[in-house]
């Protein structure tokens, strides 16, 4: 068995955020394994799959003096987040996204990508924040807006608010082994009463690749969950990494900055 205290590769994810598209979409579960009611089936090909999350394409011509483009605003603990870099990314479901451009928020937390290229076929845009800090700094590890599924150079798209404040992990403490049932707790956002959370577990496969081990269903606006079973296919005393993934009512998503290591004794 692998010690929970010795997985340097897995622990490195705590400071190397590749975004939920990579972390949450990887699947190592066998489709023939017995169903575990504590966990839902793994995401299929992409975190932005329409059958996994509901997206809100907000494409509209507003009666104001803004020029055509993609607009949004960043907040940190419900206050404007100034001078924060975000990326406009484009993808087709089932494939990796590509970066189109970057910009920074102004003193009021607002950002804009002016006159992006028209979307064609099944292409989608979204705006992403990736925390490149090596230590926790109060910001999420990753955040992304809802998808834009239709856009043209004659449109104003308003994606609304993207909250960047972290939801720090609490228990089980990092690098510990626990007995089931075990209470998982974290700190959330009271300013987003409709934000819903789930716990995501990662593991190393036989090739020392980080893959998805399992995830709970969305749990609602709660900061705790009593876990009663191990993820399907995970043995006792095997190191797992866990973090919190959140979905907001406007379709935005976020990942906690830290990833904690744990193992289940039973």
221, 105 Cβ separation under 8 angstroms:
no
Task: Quote the pTM value.
Answer: 0.79
255, 245 Cβ separation under 8 angstroms:
yes
On the question of pLDDT at 185 being above 70, the answer is yes
Average pLDDT over residues 65-80: 90
103, 113 Cβ separation under 8 angstroms:
yes
Question: pLDDT of 131-175, one tens digit each?
Answer: 988 889 999 999 999 999 876 656 888 999 999 999 999 999 998
Q: What is the pLDDT of residue 154?
A: 65
The residue ranges of every structural domain in the chain are 8-46+167-264, 59-163
| Two domains, one topology: 8-46+167-264 and 59-163 | yes
Which class is domain 8-46+167-264?
A: mainly beta
**Bigger pLDDT: 98 vs 115:** 98
String of b and e for 179-206 (b: at least 16 CB within 10 Å)?
eeebebebebbeebeebbbbbbbbbbee
The residue assigned the tokens 């993207």 is 162
CA distance 74 to 247: 16
State the chain's mean pLDDT as an integer. 78
CA distance 224 to 163: 20
Which of 94-98, 148-152, 260-264 has the highest average model confidence (pLDDT)?
Answer: 260-264
- The correct CATH number of 59-163 out of 3.10.20.90, 2.60.40.1120, 3.90.120.10, 3.90.550.10 is 2.60.40.1120
Residue 126 bridge partners (DSSP): 89
Question: pLDDT of 1-60, one tens digit each?
Answer: 333 333 444 444 444 444 343 444 333 223 222 333 454 433 322 333 333 333 334 444
> Can you give the three-state secondary structure of 2-52, one letter per residue?
CCCCCCHHHHHHHCCCCCHHHHCCCCCCCCCCCCCCCCECCCCCCCCCCCC
Ranges assigned E (strand) in 77-227: 79-80, 85-91, 98-104, 110-114, 124-130, 142-144, 156-163, 169-171, 176-178, 182-186, 196-204, 210-215, 224-227
On the question of pLDDT at 70 being above 60, the answer is yes
pLDDT > 90: percent of the chain: 50
**Would you call 72 helix, strand, or coil by DSSP?**
strand
What Å distances lie between residue 117 and 70, 100, 122, CA to CA? 11, 9, 14
């Amino acid at each position: 068995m692998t010690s929970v205290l010795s997985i340097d590769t897995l622990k490195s994810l705590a400071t190397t955020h590749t975004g939920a598209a990579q972390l949450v979409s990887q699947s190592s579960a066998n489709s023939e394994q017995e169903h575990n009611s504590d966990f839902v089936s793994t995401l299929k090909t992409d975190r932005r799959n329409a059958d996994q999350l509901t997206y809100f394409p907000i494409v509209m011509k507003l009666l104001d003096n803004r020029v055509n483009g993609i607009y949004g605003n960043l907040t940190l603990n419900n206050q404007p987040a100034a001078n924060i870099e975000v990326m406009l990314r484009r993808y087709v479901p089932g494939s990796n996204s590509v970066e189109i451009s970057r910009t920074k928020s102004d003193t009021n937390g607002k950002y804009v990508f002016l006159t992006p290229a028209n979307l064609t076929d099944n292409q989608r845009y979204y705006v992403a924040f990736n925390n490149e800090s090596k230590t926790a700094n109060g910001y999420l590890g990753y955040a992304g807006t809802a998808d834009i599924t239709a856009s043209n150079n004659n449109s104003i798209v308003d994606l609304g608010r993207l909250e960047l404040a972290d939801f720090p992990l609490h228990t089980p403490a990092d690098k510990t082994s626990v007995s089931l049932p075990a209470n998982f707790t974290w700190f959330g956002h009271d300013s987003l009463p409709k934000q819903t959370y789930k716990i995501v577990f990662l593991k190393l496969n036989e090739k020392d690749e980080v893959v998805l081990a399992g995830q709970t269903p969305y749990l609602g606006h709660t900061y705790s969950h009593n876990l009663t079973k191990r993820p399907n296919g995970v043995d006792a005393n095997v190191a797992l990494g866990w973090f919190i993934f959140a979905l907001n009512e406007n379709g935005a998503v976020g990942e906690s900055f830290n990833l904690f290591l744990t193992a289940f004794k039973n």
